[in-house]
Chains A and B, each alone.
Chain A
């Protein structure tokens, strides 16, 4: 039984807060929903908060990269925030580096990255 994650809007950015461990279907749904939301709201940034996630497997890791690539096509930067140390170590051991995804320690710093980018203008990308 997979669910759809709520996508919140903060200013020109979208926020997805992941509160439980992810299954594959949920992430697939998230990818679809996010693409739609980015277009609908003309979002410039997407923040995915994985503070609560204790397990990020290789599939989810790859999907995060894919989501970032899709968002970039739609001119939105993706920032993954709040990754736990254990998760980071696991991803490194798996040999995943989340290419193309920006990361930040917490939501605040993630928003700061997006704010910096939007103030610098799209040309700075």
Chain B
């Protein structure tokens, strides 16, 4: 295998590049696979075909790196694994002219390749998993902004379905914003919430009560006609929480309730 290094590596790269056609540059592939090939040879020379052994630490690190890049660039798992399995195909021509010894060696190598292939898929899946969880977290952050509407009035426009995890984030952000800005009024706008059921209402009520404990009043605004009907049909009691149809109404209400907030801009409201 060492002696025919160039030839073999070339054949390997040929197979891989025909699969990944045009999505990875040839030179890049060349470099990646040569490096990998060298590492595998080195590991073979030092002994064993145990893919989990310590001799293969470098090979595994390289594969890890390659799989991670493939996952980021949006390749499928098959396209990632082919990079390893194609090595077998590259070796096949040698069998024709080989002795029984060569066949045995080929089989051992094939097993090794399979193990390494599995490892690639594992690494690929792990990277994908990471990407997904990072995105979910980002989405959570993005979907819960707290904006300052006026001196002493902050607004939380909610967009998307409310679940327990999101409510928790919204609640924490809102309460922290109350402390940071010293605002005595908060407007929770649910225009973007597609549906309100008992659970969502429960979450909203909790947020409002928590804000009240801290000394701030919450106004719920943006209740669409259908949602108002649903709320009543479900028998949800909003108690003495102020609700308004639109954000504008809520803002007007909050301004009226905080006489100091208008300051010199009284005519503007």
Contact = CB atoms under 8 A, between A and B. Distances in A.
Contacts of A88: 175, 210-211, 213-214
B209 A104 contact: no
Interface stretch (B30-38, B111-119, B177-185): B177-185
A7 interface: no
A84 interface: yes
B215 A89 contact: no
Nearest to A106: B182
B171 interface: yes
Q: Is the interface of A mostly helix, strand, loop or mixed?
A: mixed
A17 interface: no
Q: Is the interface of B mostly helix, strand, loop or mixed?
A: helix
B210 A109 contact: no
B72 interface: no
A112 to B, nearest CB: 8
Interface string B205-230: 01001111111100000000000000
Interface size bracket, A side: 20 to 34
A54 B170 CA distance: 20
A81 B171 contact: no
Given A105-B178, A105-B183, A97 B214 contact: no
A52 interface: no
A105 B175 contact: no
Contacts of B176: 85
Given A81-B215, A85-B172, A89-B172, A105 B210 contact: no
A97 B209 contact: yes
Interface residues of B, number: 18
Most buried by A among B176, B214, B216: B214
Interface in A45-97: 79-81, 83-85, 87-89, 91-93, 97
A98 B182 contact: no
A79 B171 CA distance: 23
Interface in B101-134: none
Interface string A104-118: 111011100000000
A109 B182 contact: yes
A81 B211 CA distance: 12
Given A85-B172, A85-B176, A89-B171, A105 B213 contact: no
Contacts of B184: 104-105, 109
Contacts of B172: 85, 89
Contacts of B182: 105-106, 108-109
Contact of A103 (B175, B179, B206, B213): B213
A123 to B, nearest CB: 21
A103 B178 CA distance: 13
A98 B215 CA distance: 11
Interface in B148-193: 171-172, 175-176, 178-179, 182-184
Q: Which are the 10 A-B pairs with shortest beta-carbon distances?
A: A85-B175, A103-B215, A104-B215, A88-B210, A88-B213, A92-B210, A83-B214, A105-B215, A88-B214, A92-B206
Given A85-B214, A105-B214, A105-B216, 20 more contacts: A83-B213, A84-B214, A85-B176, A85-B179, A89-B171, A89-B172, A91-B210, A92-B209, A92-B213, A97-B209, A97-B213, A103-B215, A104-B184, A104-B215, A105-B179, A105-B184, A105-B215, A106-B182, A108-B182, A109-B184
18 contacts: A81-B215, A83-B213, A83-B215, A85-B171, A85-B175, A85-B176, A85-B178, A85-B210, A88-B211, A88-B214, A89-B172, A92-B206, A103-B214, A105-B182, A105-B184, A105-B214, A109-B184, A110-B215
